[in-house]
Amino acid sequence: MASETRPEIAAYERFLVTRDGAPDLLRHTLSNRERLFAGLAALPVRSGFHPDRDAYLRNLARRVPEDGLDPRLLWLLATAKANQAERFAVGLAEVYGRLPHGSDDRILLHIHLQETYHTRILADVVSLFGLPVHPRPPSPLLRLFITRMVFAPPQWVLPLTGASEMVGCVFFRALRDVGCELFAAEPAVAARIRVLYNEILADEIGHVGYIAARLGPARRRLMRALYAALGPRMVRQMRELRQLCPDSEWARRLTGFRLSEMVDECAGLAYAAATI
C-alpha cells in the first residue's frame, strides 16, 4: 500500500514530517513526539481522585464491568481498553513483517508509529490517577477479524480500514469529552486529558483523510456504508462506553460524523487529505 504522488497526499506527507519529525522504526519513535512527551513529563499532573485500585484491576480483566462502578472509574477502564484492537493489529503486523518499507511508504511508516504511540498516550492518561495499564488481547472473534485484515491485500480492505478509523475518531472524541466533563473540577487534569486525547484524535483524523484520498467515489461510498454498519456494533462491544453514554448519545455522535469539524477542534494538530 504505497503512498501516492497526488497533491493532497503529498501535502499530507509534508504535514506528517512537520508534526511528527523523524521516524525511527527500530526505536518506535517520532522525534517531535518524543519532545512533546519530554515537555509533558517536565510538568507532571496528578488527579486528586483516588480510584479503587482493586476494582479497577478486577474489571480490567473483565469483558463486562461490574454493576455500580463510579462513572470516573468506568471512564478509566474505557480508556485503558480503548485501543486493544489497534495494539493487537500493530503487534501482529510487526511480528509477521507486514510493515511499510522503502521511500514510497513514508506515510504508512508514520501512521504505524503513530499507532504505537496511542498505547503510550492512553497509559499516560490512566497514570494521572496512579493506575497502570496491563495490555490484554481483544476478544477471540475480533482477533480473527484483525488477523484477516492484516494479511489481506491492503487495497482489498482499505474501505474497511477507513471505516474503522472513522469509528476510532468518534470513540476517542467521546472519551476526551466525557473525561474533560468528569474532571472539570480539576482544570489541570482536564487540560492534560484534552491534550493527550487530541494527540490520538488528530492522528485518527489524518488516517481517515488519507484513506479517503486514496479511494474513488464508489469506494468512499462503501467506506461510509461500512462505517454506518460497524459503528453501532463496536459500541455494543465496549460495555464501559455504553454505561458512560446512553445509546441516544452514541447514535448522535455516530450519525454526526464531520471530519472538518474535528480538524478545527484539534487546532493545527490534524490534517485531512480528503473528506468523507
Q: Residue 79: is its pLDDT beyond 50? A: yes
Segment 144-194, tens digit of pLDDT: 777 777 777 777 789 999 999 999 999 999 999 999 999 999 999 999 999
Residues near 47 by beta carbon (within 8 Å), at least 6 away in sequence:
128, 129, 183, 186, 189
The confidence score (pLDDT) of residue 103 equals 43
Q: Residue 94: is its pLDDT beyond 80? A: no
- 174 by Cβ neighbours in 10 Å (0-12 / 13-18 / 19+) ranks as buried
- Neighbouring-strand partners of residue 238: none
The confidence score (pLDDT) of residue 7 equals 92
Residue 82 pLDDT level (bands cut at 50, 70, 90): confident
The gap from C-alpha 154 to its chain's centroid, in whole angstroms, comes to 20
> What mean pLDDT is predicted for residues 24-33?
92
Q: Regarding predicted confidence, which is higher, 36 or 134?
A: 36
Question: In terms of DSSP bridges, do strands 23-24 and 29-30 run parallel, antiparallel, or are they unpaired?
Answer: antiparallel
User: Per-domain residue ranges for the chain?
Assistant: 7-265
pTM of the complete model beyond 0.85: yes
Q: Residue 93: is its pLDDT beyond 60? A: yes
- Size of the chain, expressed as the number of residues it contains: 276
Could you say which DSSP state residue 27 is in? T
Could you say which DSSP state residue 30 is in? E
Residue 95 pLDDT level (bands cut at 50, 70, 90): low
> What mean pLDDT is predicted for residues 242-262?
92
- 176 by Cβ neighbours in 10 Å (0-12 / 13-18 / 19+) ranks as buried
> What mean pLDDT is predicted for residues 27-48?
95
The confidence score (pLDDT) of residue 1 equals 42
> What mean pLDDT is predicted for residues 236-251?
89
Residue with cell 479497577: 56
Could you say which DSSP state residue 124 is in? H
Q: Residue 84: is its pLDDT beyond 90? A: no
Measured CA to CA, the distance from residue 16 to residue 206 in angstroms comes to: 9
- 254 by Cβ neighbours in 10 Å (0-12 / 13-18 / 19+) ranks as buried
The grid coordinates of residue 19 equal: 508534526
Measured CA to CA, the distance from residue 151 to residue 149 in angstroms comes to: 6
The confidence score (pLDDT) of residue 151 equals 73
The grid coordinates of residue 32 equal: 517531535
Nearest to residue 40, comparing CAs of 155, 94, 120, 159? 120
Residue 104 pLDDT level (bands cut at 50, 70, 90): very low
Residues near 155 by beta carbon (within 8 Å), at least 6 away in sequence:
1
Measured CA distances, 187 to 53, 94, 190, 248 (Å): 23, 39, 5, 28
Q: Residue 99: is its pLDDT beyond 80? A: no
The confidence score (pLDDT) of residue 148 equals 75
Residue 87 pLDDT level (bands cut at 50, 70, 90): low
Measured CA to CA, the distance from residue 27 to residue 23 in angstroms comes to: 9
Segment 117-152, tens digit of pLDDT: 999 999 999 999 999 988 777 677 777 777 777 777
